[in-house]
Amino acid sequence: MIKNSLIFGTKTGTNKKFKPSLEVLVRLAKILVENQSVLKTHLHIASRVKWGSFACYLTWMTENCIVQCIGLDETYALTKNGRDAFTLLLKFNDIVRTREHYLCA
């Protein structure tokens, strides 16, 4: 069995193997920005990725101080930095989607 430290890196966010998809991050950002806290299973459903991939996203977001676990029931909420980052990501996504619409017309 491979240890998590070999896959995810250290707590300082040195994960060199995992590269998150912006599309998945946008899906996660939408549900996290709209809600104060979200159950882990609801985040997984919103991500629309397999459980193993979702675990990598959750670890990445936790290691990079975007989300924090706030309860024993595995409820997650955005940190202040996470809220700022995901709000910018959603704005960026809106701009890209709007321009994409105009470029394709």
User: Residue type at 22?
Assistant: L
Domain at 20-104: CATH code: 1.10.10.10
The domain segmentation of the chain, as residue ranges, is 20-104
Q: Given a cut of 70, is residue 9 above it in pLDDT?
A: no
The DSSP-derived string for the chain is: ---HHHHH--TTT--SS----HHHHHHHHHHHHHSS-EEHHHHHHHHTS-HHHHHHHHHHHHHTTSEEE-STT-EEEE-HHHHHHHHHHHHHHHHHHHHHHHHH-
The tens digit of pLDDT for each residue in 68-83 reads 999 899 999 999 999 9
Q: How confident is the model at residue 99 (pLDDT cuts 50, 70, 90)?
A: confident
State the pLDDT at residue 98: 86
